[in-house]
Structure 1
């Protein structure tokens, strides 16, 4: 894990940060970590950044953790297995309902 990944997790990236594609040893980018913890900037637009193995995008992570912005509209973006962001968001919503 890089210093940038830790900063993204904790919400401490500088306002002018632009190395969203920087990946850790598992292929998760700084943007994936920021998405998981709800720390992406409001003008973020690199939702298609994906892990090399499964193609899991930043949008998939944000959908899984409930941190997609209200104006997100790329619901058909899919990983290498055909799983769309819409499907992940729906699964997340149903799991929240069950808990």
Structure 2
């Protein structure tokens, strides 16, 4: 008999904003997603999702977030934002070096 229960991935996806894009995996193994529309970062660690709206943090740019996470959790294992990428657009710069 088929089950209508969502899979773990479907449950996590339902908690992310519709425009959330993968940023990368931090040094502790949590995956980070960014919603430009919501100006919110979503952190997925195992089966939990935490959201961090920039209006509720001292962060003003995505580059600030990336730097903060690296200082707290160690070097990024994987990240998809680099020179001239999304962080540069959000920060309003032509190019930026991200951790």
Q: Considering the TM-score relative to the shorter chain, is it more than 0.5?
A: no
Normalized per residue, the structure richer in helix is: 1
TM-score under structure 1 normalisation?
Answer: 0.30
Who wins on radius of gyration, i.e. which is larger? 2
TM-score under structure 2 normalisation?
Answer: 0.30
Asked which structure has the greater RCO (Cα within 8 Å, sep 6+), the reply is 2
Normalized per residue, the structure richer in strand is: 2
